[in-house]
Amino acid sequence: MAQIDTLKTLLQIDGSSAQDTLLETLIEQCSAEYLRRTHQAETDEPIVTAMVMERFNKLGNEGLENINYSGIGETYLSDYSAQVTALIRSKTRMVAI
């Protein structure tokens, strides 16, 4: 199954191609970010898929983690969840300068 099809299944997006461009863009961005963070030669599809899912779910909320209506406070996520961050770190190679 192609990565975009896997994402559509996990995100419960119907078979139409209306979201394909958005998902393809997120896949490209997350793949580039994964390679930059880990210094690997190739992407790890399951990790990139998890990164894309988190980015997709933040759209519209732009990382809103918590909101307090009575206190009018908002908290925003600064990065990926602890689980995805741990996956990325587990694949990170040290680079000699």
Render pLDDT for 50-71 as a digit per residue (tens, 0 to 9): 999 988 888 876 666 666 767 6
**Length of the chain measured in residues:** 97
What is the average pLDDT score of the chain?
Answer: 84
Domain range for residue 69? 3-90
The model's confidence at residue 81, banded by pLDDT at 50, 70 and 90, is: confident
Q: How far is CA 15 from CA 11, 20, 21, 25, in A?
A: 11, 10, 13, 18
How many domains is the chain built from? 1
The model's pTM: 0.77
Q: Is residue 95 part of a domain?
A: no
What is the C-alpha separation between 39 and 95, in angstroms, rounded? 7
Q: Is residue 83 part of a domain?
A: yes
Structure token digits, residue 75: 């908290």
**According to the model, what pLDDT value does residue 92 have?**
86
Q: Where are the beta strands (DSSP E) in the chain?
A: 64-68, 73-76
